[in-house]
Chain A
Amino acid sequence: MKACFPASDARLTMILGRLLLGCLVGLALFANEAVASEPQTLTRVAGMPLAKDFSLKDMNGKSYRLSDFRGKVVLVNFWATWCPPCREELPSLERLWKMLNHKKFEILAVNLGQGPDAIFGFTGALNPALTFPILLDRSTAVFKSWSGMAIPTTFVVNQEGRIVYRAVGGRRYDDPHIVKQIKTLATTGK
């Protein structure tokens, strides 16, 4: 009789070793994946300040006043065609727009400093096309009055005209977490 480390124990050690190795590789991959897929969130704005009202024209000359949308949740996105993250996130805003009830939710995409020709040069090539209003803040006075520092910046205004959420930098607006944040606000006002 041999006082040997039993073959079954050796196999068990091997299996455990491989399992541990697999777990570690998985952990490493998960860590990389977690970095690659950034969390998509809107930040709640402390004190929910009243959004400064504005009146801006769209590319066809039609005027839009923010306060006309009281009773709805309004997502106000500030952007420009030459801003890479702005270009990247706009299609996701269109997807969000299609997902939500327009009786309770509105999107206003406010372009900074550009004219209709420059804007259409970009939006005309998008598929699907953007169907929410694109407004022109040629002097950027509205963005400055909203204390905008960088584009893209997005604000979500509640039914009472107060800024509830803000996002600086590009987002995927059809991300389930953001959709839930906006749906909850549209249905509960919170």
Chain B
Amino acid sequence: MNLRVTLCSCNGSGERRISAGIFFLLQAIALLSAFVTGAVRAAETKHEINPKNGIETWEVRDQGVFLSLTQMTPDQAEAFFLARGFHQKSAKKYASACVFETIFRNESAPAAVSSNLADWRIITPQGERHLKLEADWDRQWKADGVSEPARIAFRWSQFPTKQRFEPGDWNQGMTTFGLPRNSQFNLIFKWTVKGVSHESMLSGVRCAPDNDSR
């Protein structure tokens, strides 16, 4: 009230100074609001495209955990497993299953985080489905006659189906979604902390396109 009175009775130069001061205060308040709402919006999916190779990444931070999915092109996935001793047929089979390099991290959850990929859900316009898990693939590799050293490399290159992350722990590994190339989906991912279930979502994720379409 006091300020309004003085403003009204002030000369031009003083008014400009006061206006500038108030302008900066308003800017500061606006920035504070943006910062606060930004923290709330942190659960939104962040999407990035690598300008060098067009590879896309989706990531989200929510309730103290971090998840990111980065596309692996069919070429990349096939080359990786050919170099680990897979024969081409099996490597191609895996590479065409919509592969992502996946990172999960317990950044600031109040205690250890437990995850089980079997609980995660892929949401597409056609409905819900599960991820294809390491044990599913291993059965396939045994049937295909994939060598044991190659299967060992496969096992440890995959994001573990079940894992416990103490604060600061993280892991990076491959996950497969079993969708056609270029398919778009949302991923509902779940975890527990001290037995309490939590979930969040990565939105608008897209499987890598054909190798020659980038």
Contacts and interface: CB of A to CB of B under 8 A. Distances in A.
Interface residues of A, number: 45
Contact of A149 (B31, B83, B157, B162): B162
Contacts, number: 130
Interface stretch (B88-96, B118-126, B136-144, B163-171): B163-171
Contacts of A39: 167-168
B172 interface: yes
B114 to A, nearest CB: 11
A30 B14 CA distance: 36
Contacts of A50: none
B18 A13 contact: yes
Interface string A78-94: 00101111000000000
Interface of B is mostly: helix
Interface residues of B, number: 48
Contact of A24 (B3, B17, B35, B167): B35
B73 to A, nearest CB: 16
Interface string B150-174: 0011011101101111111111110
Given A18-B24, A21-B31, A167-B168, 11 more contacts: A4-B6, A4-B9, A5-B18, A10-B21, A11-B17, A13-B21, A20-B24, A20-B25, A82-B153, A149-B162, A168-B171
